[in-house]
Structure 1
Amino acid sequence: MSSSPSAVPDYLGDEDLTQETRDLISSLPREKGWLVSQMYQFQGRWHTQALLQGLMECQKRFEAKDSDIILVTNPKSGTTWLKALVFALITRHKFPVSSGDHPLLVTNPHLLVPFLEGVYYESPDFDFSKLSFPRLMNTHIPLLSLPETVKSSSCKIVYCCRNPKDMFVSLWHFGKKLAPEETADYPIEKAVEAFCQGKFIGGPFWDHVLEYWYASLENPNKVLFVTYEELKKQTGDTIKRIAEFLGCGFIGEEEVSGIVKLCSFESFLGCGFVGEEEERGIVKLCSFESLSSLEVNREGKLPNGMETKAFFRKGDVGGWGDTLSESLAEKIDRTIEEKFQGSGLIFSR
């Protein structure tokens, strides 16, 4: 499925690059990607030129606070869902999940939780001190490249990892929606080869994941490592882990149940039902008919130009089989087994 050029977000372009960024990228290794015509290697990772500028601005300007919560993912690894879950957790007293006017029911999660490098590219003077306490943000920035104040502070990092085959397939389809001209003549076999070489936005996948995996083992009070598959299969237990890690654990099971229902993937897509104990307004608003009729989900766009509907495709665990051939899946499996050998982190086939 292709989209109009207006759906392509600002940070896939190059219209607002500073001279400093242009000078830097002229000296960096570059590769053609399937989302952008060129991506650049900086500090061992691959970035679009716009997000590279955002990353550098973030490194220079961002001042972390001990109370900050930073959500980290690879692209297409449950970012939208993780934002919604944690937003619901830390604001549940201000915005009870049983209310009929919860922000998540009328606002895309990406508008509630700022994307660090995206904000610093689009609005480099953005004042993060104005965010509500505790400040909640997300990023795709590798651990190595995080601002020094993030590393030295006591802020909390929640890292969500997804099975690489599912992540790749989600990114592949995401690219077809956002940049159809770039992906039209880019065969999936070539994209898998690039992925297995670590040459994709945010890649290499294994370096990004393993840095945070080892950090979670070395400093479990600062970094919590969860998987998308855990969130799907054991949503309640995983939410409890996140809540306890953030110091906002639950008192009763009823509160956990409410957030699980509100933030289920099915509710986001509008194709599931919430419990009878929830307010009648939530049942109506989260129905497929209601959500699909809302302008914010049907025709809405983020300030960067991205259509909000682009963030929801299937969200399946193991859904890669609809897109990857057996040989391509095996190629990814062999690469991952080699790269993660001895780490203790295992991905199911």
Structure 2
Amino acid sequence: MTYQVAVAGASGYAGGEVLRILADHPQLDVIAASAHSQAGESITAVHPHLTDYAGRRFSETTPEAFAGADLVIMTLPHGQSGPLAAQLDPEVKIVDLGADHRLEDAAAWEAYYGSPHAGTWTYGLPELPGQREAIAASKRVAATGCYAVSVVLALRPLFDSGIAEADDVVVVAASGTSGAGNAAKKQLLASEVIGSMRPYKVGAHQHVPEIKQATGATSLSMTPLLAPMPRGIIATATAKPAAGATADDVREVLAKAYGGEHFVRLLPEGFWPATASTYGTNAALLQGGIDRDSGRIIVTSAIDNLGKGASGQVVQCANIMLGLPEETGLTVNGVAP
């Protein structure tokens, strides 16, 4: 069976990646791709690599543009998907890549995003306990934030198993520039980024409350870094171990949590994740151990911020919502060199 899908906000990097994935999806057909300022523009003028869409144009982002869709994928800026979703038929399934519906705590939303909370939808990270079933039963799903995917997958099994303490968690994570979108900004110019790394939103990144909500961490210090690469996230999370926890315990917990998962892979002992191994995939690569000096648990994860961190994750959730095998149209195999 083939399903009709509309993509709202398809002119951005994440929207373009959704279109790329759907172009090769055997059971999802794109009936509409909307944009804001680029409405009416040729899709291939904005995304020249998407030659399957030659001759097609972006529509306006209006409820009428999505008529006939079985599912709508929203890749809109934060704060914009809530008002649009409220205008759509409540029977139409929606996966929202924006942050509007991820948080349960309205006060946390307002503190980090500065606007009224639009309500809470089912959280779209299938690998968490119980979430796959919840997503399958939902008409409204809030996909996970990009940094959040990498950190939540690294930390949640540690707290669920009891081998790590949740009250002193430190995360340092670096993202490629596509995570900042495609708007023209001085700090994203090639001459500003190439050959340099810098922190941003230090101590105040908007994914912190989401990570705490999804992992159970009670205290989290996160330092995000902008890396001189177009895509990818590498995150290292550390936490205090429970008494007696060893590196073998850490690996055993991760192996148990993700041993049956298609997209989340624990690497062989001695190998550590690299962003290049995830480019263009929906894979998340993990490795864990114990810091020799401090004794803290360390888990490092790598994802493609536009893949498992965004568009691949959205399609994975869409597959589940529509009753399709969740790996349909997605891959864990990267490209090299």
* Alignment TM-score, normalising by the size of structure 2: 0.28
Please identify which structure carries the higher strand content: 2
Which structure shows the bigger proportion of residues in helix conformation? 1
TM-score, with structure 1 as normaliser: 0.27
Q: Which has the higher contact order (CA 8 A, sep 6+)?
A: 1
